[in-house]
A and B are shown apart, each in its own frame.
Chain A
Amino acid sequence: MNRAEPPRSAVIESGQRALLKYLASMALAFLPFVVFVNDAHWLNIIAFTYLMGGLAAAWNIIGGFGGQFSLGHGVFFGIGAYMTAGLVIRYGFSPWLTMLPIAVFAAGVAMLISWPTFRLRGPFFAIATLAFNEVAFVLANHAESLTGGPRGLMIPFKAGFANMIFRERWQYALLMFVFVVAVIGICVLLRRSRLGYYLLAVREDEDAARAAGINVLAVKLKGMALSAFLTSIGGTLFTMYLRYIDPPTIFTLPEVGVKFALLSLIGGIGTIAGPLLGAALIIPFENWLRAEFSNSLPGMSLAILGLLMVLAALFMKRGVVGAIEDAVKRLRRGKGSGS
């Protein structure tokens, strides 16, 4: 064979390059925070964007990398939210302390409910996860002693770092930023790990994966557990930010469980940057829609998001990141550089 072997870095991104890209994009993501650090209104939007970006990235682990479209991540979000709130209200436990054990619990629940449902293929899996979300909603409404039922739970305002309750909005925004930085960092590491590659293989072709020695169910469960773990932490942060949660806030699919998937789809499913990019595009836009229309045309924001979902599924399956990658590829080819 006389054909030259391409430099190894051209085939798989080197660890250094990946790290640089990650740091650069996180710095870029931090800019809006810096710019709007004194504007409470914008800080709120930015905080939510960071939070939802992190949650979307967490969903992306099993939905994007693993190809398992769960519509039931609201369950794990709810576990993080409700358990954190419950423990704070009842026992005064600091969310910093309870956050991780609760997330581990959520991961356990995820594996438990996923184990039978991963047997179901594609759409049936999605329906089953959707059903789990509905059941969680019913339970949250029903178990009043634990969850406050339809009235929900309210966390009294007691500022303090240990309580994860802050006076200044910028402190919350910073917290959310740390969250999304952590989640995306984990995604970068995952993508470069054996589990990450195995998730991709399972997504692409389960039979081929098995032929390569991959225990498909085990890989899916691990991916789901990690995804649920991170989603639960997002739920904790959400609760401590709003300090009020009720079943509709947590379990309404288009606002929560499906939203994570939607953001990933718009930004770019299965990519690292996609979920946060999707959040950056959609959350401020949605905010604006709601402000403009909620009096005249209630539900407009969700209607438009629904339309975007349909259009993205039809015309932009790989999201904005995919569209950018395609454009770059076309440019490169146009410039005549050899492949």
Chain B
Amino acid sequence: MSAAMLEVRQVSKQFGGLRAVDNVSLSVRQGEIVSIIGPNGAGKTTLFNLLTGQLAPTEGDVCFFGESINALPPHARAKRGMGRTFQIAKPLIALNALENVMIGAFLHDARLSVARDKAFAVLERVGMAHLAPRRAGDLTLSERRRLEVARALALEPKIVLLDEVMAGLNQAEVGIEIELLKSLHAEGQTFLIIEHNLKVVRAFSDRVVVLDRGRLIAEGTADEILNAPAVIEAYLGGGHMGQGGAAAANTETMA
């Protein structure tokens, strides 16, 4: 059993009177895909920001390869091997797709030619090599999402944190994205994802972790979790979660 790559130890985040994240512990091992799910307001985004360094925990430790990274700012975590995407995609609009990925590729080598070649390779990997010269501002949403994944991959990350990478994509686009993530996973890439789309979660998680009102209420395999009563309760207040995707996502917004 490999030691945990990313470990969250009893982490809490307090905002004034609100405990947005309450004593959450979880770990991600090398090569795993762990999904975090939960209704709106469950604290997923706050937890995510604690992992990426945008927020510092009020209590507890975020550990990466055994070392506490509480004090590390976001760019330092990226340097250590934590790649991430944003819920609202942030392409560098004035640059083309290749240059966007090069920004990530420059992390390990300052040479233009090396960064360029690596960026091309990554674009090819995500199936966007033909879009290399296109201005990032002109890309579709699905392409922008993949561009962000590509930029994160160019960092040669140990783990990639995906924040609702499927949001706003149609069925076909979701399918493409899932295939990409699956193939990356098959190569050994570790992922921690926040996801609303339960079809995605079912398709491609090793483990699922459920947050509700800041607390971790359940943890297990996709099958275990998606049928657990406590989880169903938290999401829907009754009713079943057979369909992932749109149906569950719609009911969630009422929470």
- Decide yes or no whether B202 CB sits under 8 A from chain A: no
CB distance from A162 to the nearest CB of B (A): 38
With a CB–CB cut-off of 8 A, which chain A residues contact B103? 197-198, 201, 208-209, 212, 214
Contact A200 B94 (CB under 8 A): yes
Give the bracket for the number of chain A residues in contact with chain B.
20 to 34
Q: A5-B124, A208-B86, A208-B92 are in contact. Are A197 and B106 (CB under 8 A)?
A: yes
- Segment 158-196 of A: residues with Cβ below 8 Å from B: 192-194
- Segment 75-100 of B: residues with Cβ below 8 Å from A: 75-76, 78-79, 83-86, 90-96, 98-99
With a CB–CB cut-off of 8 A, which chain A residues contact B98? 11-12
- Decide yes or no whether B146 CB sits under 8 A from chain A: no
CB distance from A194 to the nearest CB of B (A): 4
With a CB–CB cut-off of 8 A, which chain A residues contact B217? none
Contact A3 B130 (CB under 8 A): yes
- Segment 96-129 of B: residues with Cβ below 8 Å from A: 96, 98-99, 102-104, 106-107, 110, 112, 115-116, 120, 124, 127, 129
- Decide yes or no whether A210 CB sits under 8 A from chain B: yes
Contact B130 A1 (CB under 8 A): yes
Q: A11-B133, A194-B106, A197-B103 are in contact. Are A207 and B75 (CB under 8 A)?
A: no
CB distance from A267 to the nearest CB of B (A): 17
Give the bracket for the number of chain B residues in contact with chain A.
35 or more
Alpha-carbon distance between A200 and B75 when the two chains are bound, in angstroms: 16
Q: Which of B78, B110, B116, B134 contacts A213 (CB 8 A)?
A: B78
Alpha-carbon distance between A339 and B132 when the two chains are bound, in angstroms: 12
Contact B107 A212 (CB under 8 A): yes
With a CB–CB cut-off of 8 A, which chain A residues contact B134? 339
Alpha-carbon distance between A15 and B127 when the two chains are bound, in angstroms: 27
Nearest A residue to B107 via CB reads A213
With most chain B CB atoms within 10 A of its CB, the pick from A1, A12, A15, A270 is: A12
Contact A210 B133 (CB under 8 A): no
With a CB–CB cut-off of 8 A, which chain A residues contact B90? 205, 207-208, 211
With a CB–CB cut-off of 8 A, which chain B residues contact A15? 112
CB distance from B71 to the nearest CB of A (A): 15
- Segment 284-301 of A: residues with Cβ below 8 Å from B: none
With a CB–CB cut-off of 8 A, which chain A residues contact B75? 209-216
Nearest A residue to B117 via CB reads A8
- Decide yes or no whether A4 CB sits under 8 A from chain B: yes
Q: Which of B91, B93, B102, B130 contacts A5 (CB 8 A)?
A: B130
- Decide yes or no whether A326 CB sits under 8 A from chain B: no
- Decide yes or no whether B28 CB sits under 8 A from chain A: no
Q: A193-B110, A204-B95 are in contact. Are A211 and B152 (CB under 8 A)?
A: yes
- Decide yes or no whether B39 CB sits under 8 A from chain A: no
CB distance from B21 to the nearest CB of A (A): 20
Contact A198 B106 (CB under 8 A): yes
Contact B74 A11 (CB under 8 A): no
Nearest B residue to A208 via CB reads B90
CB distance from A269 to the nearest CB of B (A): 11
Alpha-carbon distance between A11 and B117 when the two chains are bound, in angstroms: 11
Contact B92 A204 (CB under 8 A): yes
With a CB–CB cut-off of 8 A, which chain B residues contact A28? none
Contact A201 B92 (CB under 8 A): yes
- Decide yes or no whether A6 CB sits under 8 A from chain B: yes
Alpha-carbon distance between A4 and B124 when the two chains are bound, in angstroms: 11
- Decide yes or no whether A10 CB sits under 8 A from chain B: yes
Contact B130 A213 (CB under 8 A): no
With a CB–CB cut-off of 8 A, which chain A residues contact B110? 193-194
With a CB–CB cut-off of 8 A, which chain B residues contact A211? 52, 74-75, 78, 83-86, 90, 151-152
- Decide yes or no whether B155 CB sits under 8 A from chain A: yes
CB distance from B106 to the nearest CB of A (A): 5
With a CB–CB cut-off of 8 A, which chain A residues contact B99? 12, 197, 200
With a CB–CB cut-off of 8 A, which chain B residues contact A6? 130, 132-133
Give 6 nearest A-B pairs by CB, closest first: A3-B130, A213-B78, A204-B92, A208-B90, A210-B74, A194-B110
6 A-B residue pairings within 8 Å (CB atoms)? A8-B116, A193-B112, A194-B112, A200-B94, A210-B73, A212-B155
